[in-house]
């Protein structure tokens, strides 16, 4: 070897992941290296460009950026970059620029892949480095959609306008006109001029909007001295200033509202409305839900199906994480249901008694993807009389379920739909169902529990859904025998790993060489998390939020919770990316992934995620036992 190659070798051996490599391997790397010099301010890697080398900093400083221009990391002597693109086989994701004059070593792609495949220490280092960075990035991983990276507080520009409950509707209208706002908050000690001391969240009594004034005051010819308490909407949904605009949008669409009081440390700081979000980010793919709400016929809803698929693919291409995609797709499904129920009521007339339409399963958990059937149910007021009222609700359920089938949500093969009289019952009957399933955990009861204990109110008197959630949390957490039986069931679907940690795939048929990532991956992971969530009396439905409650209750260590979270994220994102790829190629979405079609990096991490699931299932055996 010449002196130059020896100098390269000696520098490499002082820094990980090269420090542990044998001298022969280092000699090979040193002789294959190409050297490049970059002046301060010059681009080293450009977004979406091809990359064929691992970049090693011999001297100087390099800044790594996200595609939106935000600084991602600053690297110095002995550090590497470009490994994520090499591992995933994709183009440059994080651009790089020299901060100062820098000298780089380029290690060829073929040599990088040899090291990654043959040397476990090297593979662990480059893989762990990027996984740590990705975990730290969290929801900020999205770089092209500001709804997912901008916090609510950024849009709060002025002091909120408030009135007291006893102030007149005329006073409220005058303030709204003077301030140029479309809504005013009603508070315990509100002042007509909008100036106030700090207001606690529990002092917000309601909101009066321009729509309220038009529909409840002008149209009804109310006296202008009528107190605002008589016309305000008392459904107050708040949001914290540190939450994202994405979350604000979902809350508005979920609750059919256009205004959200924003809080800082549980004190009111302002109001954010739909117009704020639209003006800030009018191109968001999630605005498809607004189009759903404007449709007057089923045919109009059906024509939105291509938009739904397109919005899903855009979110994936914008690097949205699993929770964002699942929440958005579930919100689209909820909105379809809400609009169908509204259209059904227009056709059938007002409901004879109050009701709540339930979403079950992945939609209730905000974890829905593109291939799903419909699981739903009806909770009816205890004033329900089958002889007088069931004809109406059967017709409404049929209209909604048939409509959902037209929109691509296939009928549930198990009959878990509101068209089934068993799942169209008064609140008291539902409480009896749930109590019996918990107290007598027979096989059918356990199956029903795994379906119905993930529930959320979509439309109507959603307080009935909250009552059921509270009953489940209270009773299940105090039923060790039920939890033991449910835990036993949660171990029945094992991850597809065989001897020597190899994937177990289908050996025949149309899905040969593939595995069902939902049936053998995400679904059993959800089952495991549900058991711990019920034991900890969590009211959360989303699996990621349930993990927060499980950790806070001490049922799992912070490390175990983090492993489950990362594994669920990786499995779900593999599923999501697979479905998006099929849709973009003109095929129908499905749940079957061929591991050989994944990159080496993704195969390695998918196996690691499945191993986390396997370990979590084993832990259930010791944590919960039938009595």
Domains 3-141 and 152-280 share a fold: no
Strand partners, 71: 65
Taking the CA atoms of the chain, what radius of gyration do you get in angstroms? Answer: 28
For residues 581-610, give the mean pLDDT.
90
Per-residue pLDDT reduced to its tens digit, 39-61: 988 999 998 899 999 999 999 98
Specify the DSSP class assigned to residue 497: B
H or E element, residue 454: none
For residues 142-158, give the mean pLDDT.
65
In this predicted model, which residue has the larger pLDDT, 438 or 327? 438
In this predicted model, which residue has the larger pLDDT, 179 or 516? 516
Per-residue pLDDT reduced to its tens digit, 543-594: 999 999 999 998 998 889 999 999 999 999 999 999 999 999 999 999 999 9
Confidence band of 189 (pLDDT split at 50, 70, 90): confident
Confidence band of 291 (pLDDT split at 50, 70, 90): confident
Confidence band of 279 (pLDDT split at 50, 70, 90): low
For residues 337-349, give the mean pLDDT.
95
For residues 15-33, give the mean pLDDT.
91
For residues 276-294, give the mean pLDDT.
66
Confidence band of 289 (pLDDT split at 50, 70, 90): confident
Q: Find the range with the poorest average confidence among 106-110, 196-200, 283-287.
A: 283-287
Dist CA 576 CA 567 (whole Å): 14
29, two tokens: 């790397």
Dist CA 433 CA 418 (whole Å): 15
pLDDT (0 to 100) of residue 140: 34
pTM: 0.66
Backbone angles phi, psi at 81, to 5 degrees: -150, 165
Task: Tell me how crowded residue 350 is: count the other CB atoms within 10 A of its CB.
Answer: 7
- CA nearest 543: which of 525, 557, 559, 558? 525
Residue with tokens 């029903």: 448
In this predicted structure, the answer to whether residue 197 has a pLDDT above a threshold of 80 is no
Residue with tokens 């080398």: 53
Residues 6+ apart with CB under 8 A from 6: 30
- Pairing outcome for strands 259-264 and 239-240: parallel
Confidence band of 131 (pLDDT split at 50, 70, 90): very low
Confidence band of 470 (pLDDT split at 50, 70, 90): very high
pLDDT (0 to 100) of residue 117: 85
Dist CA 252 CA 41 (whole Å): 44
For residues 245-259, give the mean pLDDT.
81
**CATH number corresponding to 152-280:** 3.10.580.10
CATH superfamily of 3-141: Jelly Rolls (2.60.120.10)
Mean pLDDT of the chain: 88
Dist CA 210 CA 455 (whole Å): 33
Domain ranges of the chain: 3-141, 152-280, 316-623
Dist CA 580 CA 587 (whole Å): 10
Residues 6+ apart with CB under 8 A from 291: 304, 307
pLDDT (0 to 100) of residue 284: 52
Task: Tell me how crowded residue 558 is: count the other CB atoms within 10 A of its CB.
Answer: 8
pLDDT (0 to 100) of residue 316: 84
Residue with tokens 């309220």: 212
Per-residue pLDDT reduced to its tens digit, 483-507: 999 999 999 999 999 877 789 988 8
Dist CA 318 CA 283 (whole Å): 13
In this predicted model, which residue has the larger pLDDT, 279 or 245? 245
Per-residue pLDDT reduced to its tens digit, 505-525: 888 888 899 999 999 999 999
255, two tokens: 């609750």
Strand partners, 271: 261
Dist CA 333 CA 577 (whole Å): 20
């Amino acid at each position: 070897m010449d002196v130059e190659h020896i100098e390269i070798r000696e520098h490499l051996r002082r820094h990980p992941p090269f420090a542990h490599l044998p001298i022969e391997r280092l000699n090979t790397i040193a002789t294959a290296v190409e050297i490049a010099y970059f002046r301060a301010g010059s681009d080293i890697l450009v977004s979406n460009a091809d990359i064929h080398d691992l970049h090693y900093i011999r001297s100087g400083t390099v800044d790594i950026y996200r595609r939106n221009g935000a600084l991602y990391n600053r690297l110095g002597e002995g550090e590497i970059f470009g490994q994520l693109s090499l591992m995933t086989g994709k183009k440059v994701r994080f651009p790089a620029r020299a901060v100062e004059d820098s000298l780089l070593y380029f290690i060829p792609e073929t040599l990088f892949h040899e090291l990654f495949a043959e040397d476990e220490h090297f593979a662990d280092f480059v893989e762990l480095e990027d996984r740590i960075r990705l975990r730290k990035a969290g929801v900020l991983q999205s770089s092209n959609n500001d709804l997912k990276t901008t916090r609510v507080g950024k849009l709060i520009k002025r002091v909120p306008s408030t009135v007291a409950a006893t102030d007149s509707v005329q006073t409220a209208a005058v303030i709204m006109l003077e301030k140029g706002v479309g809504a005013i908050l009603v508070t315990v000690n509100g002042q007509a001029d909008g100036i106030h001391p700090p207001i606690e969240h529990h002092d917000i009594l309601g909101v009066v909007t321009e729509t309220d004034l038009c529909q409840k005051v002008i149209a009804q010819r109310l006296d202008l001295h009528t107190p605002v308490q008589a016309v305000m909407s008392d459904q107050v949904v708040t949001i914290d200033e540190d939450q994202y605009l994405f979350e604000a949008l979902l809350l508005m669409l979920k609750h059919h509202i256009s205004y959200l009081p924003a809080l800082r440390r549980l004190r009111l700081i302002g109001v954010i409305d739909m117009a704020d979000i639209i003006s800030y980010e009018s191109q968001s793919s999630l605005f498809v839900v607004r189009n759903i709400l404007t449709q007057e016929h089923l045919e109009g809803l059906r024509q939105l199906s291509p938009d739904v698929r397109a919005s899903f693919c855009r979110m994936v291409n914008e690097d949205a994480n699993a929770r964002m995609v699942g929440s958005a797709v579930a919100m689209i499904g909820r909105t379809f249901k809400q609009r169908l129920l509204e259209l059904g009521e227009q056709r059938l007339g007002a409901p004879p008694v109050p009701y709540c339409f339930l979403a079950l399963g992945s939609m209730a958990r905000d974890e829905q993807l593109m291939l799903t059937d419909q699981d739903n149910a009806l909770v009816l007021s205890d004033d329900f009389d089958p002889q007088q009222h069931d004809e109406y609700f059967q017709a409404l359920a049929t209209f909604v379920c048939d409509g959902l089938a037209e929109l691509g949500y296939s009928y549930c093969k198990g009959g878990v739909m509101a068209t089934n009289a068993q799942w169209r019952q008064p609140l008291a009957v539902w409480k009896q169902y749930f109590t019996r399933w918990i107290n007598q955990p027979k096989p059918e009861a356990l199956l029903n529990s795994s379906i119905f204990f993930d529930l959320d109110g979509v439309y109507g008197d959603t307080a009935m859904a909250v009552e059921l959630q509270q009953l489940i949390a209270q009773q299940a957490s105090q039923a060790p025998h039920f939890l033991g039986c449910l835990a036993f069931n949660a171990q029945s679907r094992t991850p597809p790993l065989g001897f020597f940690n190899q994937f177990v795939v289908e050996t025949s048929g149309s899905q040969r060489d593939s595995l069902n990532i939902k049936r053998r991956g995400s679904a059993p992971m959800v089952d495991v998390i549900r058991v711990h969530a019920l034991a900890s009396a969590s009211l959360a439905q989303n699996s990621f939020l349930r993990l927060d409650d499980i950790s806070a209750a001490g049922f799992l260590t912070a490390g175990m919770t983090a492993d489950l979270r990362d594994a669920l994220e990786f499995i779900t994102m593999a599923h999501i990316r697979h479905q998006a790829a099929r849709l973009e190629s003109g095929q129908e979405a499905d749940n079957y992934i061929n591991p050989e079609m994944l990159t080496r990096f993704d195969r390695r991490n998918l196996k690691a995620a499945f191993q986390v699931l396997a370990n979590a299932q084993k832990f259930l055996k010791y944590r919960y036992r039938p009595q």
